[in-house]
Chains A and B, each alone.
Chain A
Amino acid sequence: MKKNQSQEEFIKGIWRDNPVFVQVLGMCPMLAVTNSAINAVAMGMATFFVLVGSSFLVSTFRNVIPKQVRISCFIIIIATFVTIADYTLLALVPGVHKELGAFIPLIVANCLILGRQEAFASRYPTKLAVMDAMGMASGFLLALLSLGAVREILGDGALFGVNLFGENFEPWVIMILPPGGFLTLGVILLFFNWFKYKKDEFLEDVAAAERSES
């Protein structure tokens, strides 16, 4: 039972409660760094590290942190992890770090992370909190990757820097520029709406069929 529950927490972050596509959280880094797939992955990994680390700490110390100053405590914990991620990226992949620039420190202001601390990590035991954080972060990584891949393929004709279409492809430059981010995410959300709409319709049909049978 215990195992099932933690599995459940992990899976809900990836699909049913996907932080970007369903809850529309963490939009700023989402749009700003997804002009290529590799940047999207770096950003996703950094967010993963920060979210899992701070969820772990927050839920371990959830009984020690006074209720009145909990938000400030969360933010300081998050900021510490972001600083670690920032300097680690600078040491390991200076090129990517330079391209992401100010957006790594800005992980602090990602509402997804603070939201998970407040809504989940500060209320549940450590194991569940870590599973939840991992699920949410994987969902975020997946969303970043899909957006980054679409934008890089259309805007550059490449994926992870590997040319896909040969020389005759005319790059759709607007997709790499800022408007492309808004448009791509808009279209993806539209697809999610359509999916939900169809699912509701299907469930209604099933219910209607059952009623007429009885």
Chain B
Amino acid sequence: MDNLLWIFISALLVNNFVLTYFLGLCPFLGVSNSLETSARLGLATTFVMLVTAICAWILNTYVLVYAPYLRLICFIVVIASTVQFIEMLIKKLSPALFRAMGIFLPLITTNCAILGLAIFATNRGYGFWEGIVYALGAGIGFTLALVLLAGLREESELSNIPQLIKGTAMNLIIAGILSMAFMGFAGLFSSA
């Protein structure tokens, strides 16, 4: 139990996917201009991460023991098609949920955060439950970083800043400061 909690907190704060591993930066910088969109994108990402963790575990346990060099190709193909399938399923079963995160699902399938999650979980030899908890932590951590940046960006729209620094340059510097703040969590576990 302790172990699972540690994995969760570590993926959520200490080793936040966006701010310390630099994964999933494209949506992080591209979509984070409004709070609502980024919350929905975060929700969709967390969901895809859960699916990914399950897929990765199944592949690792039953298929890739025989052919480790096919790992990358397998991961991509299986994850992309599973997500596509689930997207269709959600569309049929719950149109409201589909509207909330539907358009984002195919977009984030080949996001590096998703693939990174599968590869990290494999490299660390996580089991089924560990993988799921790791995916949850990483997904919520991703959402947290996205929402924080979106909030800051919405504020900065209203303030008077030099024309020169507007856009990606400022977003990166804001992200740098956020990342510095997250480094404070590194002391949370002395054993980490």
- Please report the number of residue pairs spanning A and B whose Cβ atoms sit closer than 8 angstroms: 113
Whether the Cβ atoms of A190 and B165 lie closer than 8 Å is: yes
Our pick among B72, B163, B168, B170 for the contact of A79 (Cβ within 8 Å) is B72
Whether the Cβ atoms of B22 and A178 lie closer than 8 Å is: yes
Q: Quick one: closest B residue to A186, CB to CB?
A: B172
Our pick among A75, A87, A183 for the contact of B172 (Cβ within 8 Å) is A183
Instruction: Please tell me the number of chain A residues within 8 Å of chain B, measured between CB atoms.
Output: 40
Most buried by A among B29, B73, B163, B170: B73
| Residue interface bits A147-181, CB-to-B below 8 A is 1, else 0 | 00000000000000000000000000010011111
Whether the Cβ atoms of B29 and A114 lie closer than 8 Å is: no
Q: Which residues of B contact A38 (CB under 8 A)?
A: none
Q: Which residues of B contact A129 (CB under 8 A)?
A: none
Whether the Cβ atoms of B29 and A72 lie closer than 8 Å is: no
Report if A27 contacts B (CB, 8 A): yes
Most buried by A among B70, B167, B172: B172
Whether the Cβ atoms of A31 and B112 lie closer than 8 Å is: no
* A178 → B minimal CB distance (Å): 5
Q: Which residues of A contact B76 (CB under 8 A)?
A: 75-76, 79, 108
Instruction: Please tell me the number of chain B residues within 8 Å of chain A, measured between CB atoms.
Output: 42
Report if B31 contacts A (CB, 8 A): no
Q: Known A83-B72, A105-B119; judge A179-B164 contact (CB<8 A).
A: no
Q: Quick one: closest B residue to A110, CB to CB?
A: B112
B residues touching A (Cβ–Cβ < 8 Å)?
A: 19-26, 29, 69-73, 76-77, 80, 110-112, 114-116, 119-120, 123, 163-165, 167-173, 175-177, 179-180, 183
The 3 closest A-B pairs by CB, nearest first: A182-B176, A186-B172, A109-B112
Besides A32-B22, A186-B171, 13 more A-B contacts (Cβ < 8 Å) are: A28-B112, A31-B22, A79-B72, A83-B69, A105-B72, A178-B20, A178-B21, A179-B177, A179-B183, A183-B172, A183-B173, A185-B172, A186-B176
A residues touching B (Cβ–Cβ < 8 Å)?
A: 24, 27-28, 30-32, 72, 75-76, 79-80, 82-83, 86-87, 101-102, 105-106, 108-111, 114, 174, 177-183, 185-187, 189-190, 193-194, 197
